């Protein structure tokens, strides 16, 4: 789960990371008021959307006074911002962050991520801040400093000092950097984060370190024990299909194809998507209904897949172990009855109670296409697409 910049800064500030004075605004008048609260001089107005590259896309501007702040805020609020990290439809701007301007002497990059190879939290840092980490890795890979944290000891002070020296900091800046690094590590560890990024972390002209931008993302599977983090979720920034699925406990990722997938098990879902591609089609989504799915859960999965207007065929592929094929078949029939499905549905069942499930499908009288193998199911789904798409 991603959160907004202002939410990430508020969290990091609680752990001890220095951030500029700032305020949240939901209207042009409120943005102007925030500017006056900061002294009425120069301030930075930032669109709050879940995406990087906001500055390049026109979502960040240095404004001179409350009048310019109000004018710029009026041009942003209620519009969508398209960046290199969003889809063509962009992200809607419903809130702004108004921040005091900083006198920048130098910009740094700092990120905490999970390194799956070492199974450790890794710090990635660079003396070139203000750029996306992907761009840094491509244009100046030698500038990236990597440091792995031992989970038994945590981030120890000598590591933090060593990293500070590698970034060219000196004097009191080293102590400030140690504070920032430890604060970020504690926030990452204590809140089940997946990423903490400060970009840029700036050295001001007076020598102080300040986080000018921040991003945090969290492990969705751990939100049950972090209700204060879950409360920061902004469904308006999410893919509406994924938001609908999340509200019903379904693992769903929206894609760009037209063949909707309802499958149990992540591995089988990935294999099914590969087979659809191999047969000449394109999956519209990844959806894992999980084990022990009731007919009602299957019906909700159909609702979620059908919320995507691009879907022209639905492929149901179930290998039942914990699950039961007769439950799945009942759910498919229930979905037909309740939702009035008007597009082709291909069903492949295997495993527990497979004969009972296939019998329910066969005796339903519904135009459901049955398949015995995954390859047959994928080929049938591709063949059932409308002629315009098949061409």
Could you report how far apart the first and last alpha carbons of the chain are, in Å?
38
In a shared domain, residues 136 and 206: yes
Check the annotation: does 55 bind a ligand.
yes
Per-residue pLDDT band at 115 (split at 50, 70, 90): very high
Catalogue the active-site residues: 109, 197
- Determine which of 232-241, 246-255, 261-270 has the lowest per-residue pLDDT on average: 246-255
In a shared domain, residues 11 and 133: yes
pLDDT for 354 equals 92
Domain boundary among 76, 101, 126: 101
Average pLDDT, the chain: 91
For 352, the domain range is 239-390
In a shared domain, residues 244 and 299: yes
pLDDT of 282-326, one tens digit each?
999 998 887 666 788 888 889 889 988 899 999 999 888 877 899
311 contacts 284 by C-beta, under 8 angstroms: yes
In a shared domain, residues 213 and 76: no
Give 177 or 253, the one with higher predicted confidence: 177
Per-residue pLDDT band at 253 (split at 50, 70, 90): confident
Check the annotation: does 107 bind a ligand.
yes
247 contacts 32 by C-beta, under 8 angstroms: no
Check the annotation: does 10 bind a ligand.
no
Average pLDDT value for residue range 104-125:
94
pLDDT of 180-214, one tens digit each?
999 999 999 999 999 999 999 999 999 999 999 99
262 contacts 368 by C-beta, under 8 angstroms: no
pTM of the model: 0.76
- Determine which of 158-167, 200-209, 234-243 has the lowest per-residue pLDDT on average: 234-243
Check the annotation: does 46 bind a ligand.
yes
For residue 70 the two structure tokens come to 């109000």
Domain boundary among 53, 83, 101: 101
CATH at 199: 3.30.470.20
In a shared domain, residues 326 and 303: yes
In a shared domain, residues 246 and 337: yes
Strand ranges across the sheet with 60-64: 22-25, 96-100, 42-47, 60-64
Give 158 or 130, the one with higher predicted confidence: 158
Check the annotation: does 364 bind a ligand.
no
pLDDT for 136 equals 75
Per-residue pLDDT band at 248 (split at 50, 70, 90): low
Check the annotation: does 102 bind a ligand.
yes
Q: Is the pLDDT of residue 10 over 70?
A: yes
pLDDT for 23 equals 96
Cα torsion angle, 372, 378, 383, 385, sign: positive
In a shared domain, residues 311 and 383: yes
Q: What is the DSSP string of 160-171?
A: HHHHHHHTT--T
Closest CA to 76 of 101, 61, 59, 99: 59
Per-residue pLDDT band at 389 (split at 50, 70, 90): low
Q: Give residues with Cβ within 8 angstroms of 121, minimum separation 6.
A: 112, 113, 114, 115, 148, 149, 151, 185, 188, 189
Where is 356: in which H helix or E strand? helix 354-363
User: Any idea what the Cα angle at residue 335 is, between residues 329 and 340, rounded to 5°?
Assistant: 135
Check the annotation: does 92 bind a ligand.
no
User: Are β-strands 345-351 and 368-371 bridged in parallel, bridged antiparallel, or unpaired?
Assistant: parallel
CATH at 71: 3.30.1490.20
How many domains, the chain? Answer: 3
pLDDT for 65 equals 94
In a shared domain, residues 5 and 50: no
In a shared domain, residues 258 and 313: yes
User: Are β-strands 104-115 and 96-100 bridged in parallel, bridged antiparallel, or unpaired?
Assistant: unpaired
Average pLDDT value for residue range 223-246:
84
Domain boundary among 203, 238, 273: 238
Per-residue pLDDT band at 60 (split at 50, 70, 90): very high
Judged by DSSP in three states, 194 sits in strand
Helices (H), ranges, 252-340: 266-278, 295-306, 325-339
CATH at 333: 3.40.50.261
Average pLDDT value for residue range 232-249:
77
- Determine which of 93-107, 254-268, 285-299, 332-346 has the lowest per-residue pLDDT on average: 285-299
Residues above pLDDT 90, as percent of the chain: 69
In a shared domain, residues 323 and 370: yes
In a shared domain, residues 298 and 213: no
Residues above pLDDT 70, as percent of the chain: 98
In a shared domain, residues 146 and 271: no
pLDDT for 87 equals 80
Q: Give residues with Cβ within 8 angstroms of 326, minimum separation 6.
A: 353, 356, 357, 360
């Amino acid at each position: 789960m991603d959160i907004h910049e202002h939410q990430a800064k508020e969290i990091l500030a609680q752990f001890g990371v220095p951030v500029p004075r700032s305020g949240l605004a939901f209207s042009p008048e409120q943005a102007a008021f925030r500017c006056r609260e900061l002294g009425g001089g120069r301030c930075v107005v930032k669109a709050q959307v879940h995406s990087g590259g906001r500055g390049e896309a026109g979502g960040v501007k240095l404004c001179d006074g409350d009048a310019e702040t109000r004018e710029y805020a009026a041009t942003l609020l209620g519009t969508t911002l398209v960046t290199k990290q969003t889809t063509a439809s962009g992200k809607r701007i419903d809130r702004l962050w108004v921040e005091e301007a900083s006198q920048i002497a130098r910009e740094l990059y700092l990120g905490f991520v999970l390194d799956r190879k070492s199974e450790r939290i890794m710090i990635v840092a660079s003396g070139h801040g203000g750029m996306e980490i992907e761009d840094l890795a491509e244009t100046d890979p030698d500038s990236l400093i990597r440091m792995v944290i031992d989970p038994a000891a945590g981030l120890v002070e000598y590591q933090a000092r060593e990293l500070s020296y590698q970034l060219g900091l000196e004097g009191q800046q080293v102590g400030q950097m140690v504070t920032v690094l430890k604060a970020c590590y504690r926030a990452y560890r204590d809140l089940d984060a997946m990423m903490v990024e400060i970009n840029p972390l700036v050295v001001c002209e007076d020598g102080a370190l300040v986080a000018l931008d921040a991003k945090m993302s969290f492990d969705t599977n751990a939100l049950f024990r972090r209700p204060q983090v879950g409360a920061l979720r902004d469904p308006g920034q999410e893919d509406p299909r994924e938001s609908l699925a999340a509200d019903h406990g379904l693992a769903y990722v929206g894609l760009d194809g037209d063949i909707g997938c309802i499958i149990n098990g992540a591995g089988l879902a990935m294999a099914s998507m590969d087979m659809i591609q191999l047969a000449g089609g394109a999956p519209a989504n990844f959806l894992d209904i999980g084990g022990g799915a009731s007919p009602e859960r299957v019906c909700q999965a159909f609702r979620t897949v059908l919320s995507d207007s691009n879907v022209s065929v639905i492929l149901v592929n179930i290998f039942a172990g914990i699950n039961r094929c007769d439950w799945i078949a009942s759910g498919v029939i229930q979905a037909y009855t309740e939702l009035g499905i008007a597009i082709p549905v291909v069903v492949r069942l295997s495993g527990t109670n497979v004969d009972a499930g296939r019998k329910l499908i066969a005796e339903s009288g519904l135009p459901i296409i049955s398949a015995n193998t995954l390859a047959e199911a994928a080929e049938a789904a591709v063949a059932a697409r409308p002629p315009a798409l098949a061409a």
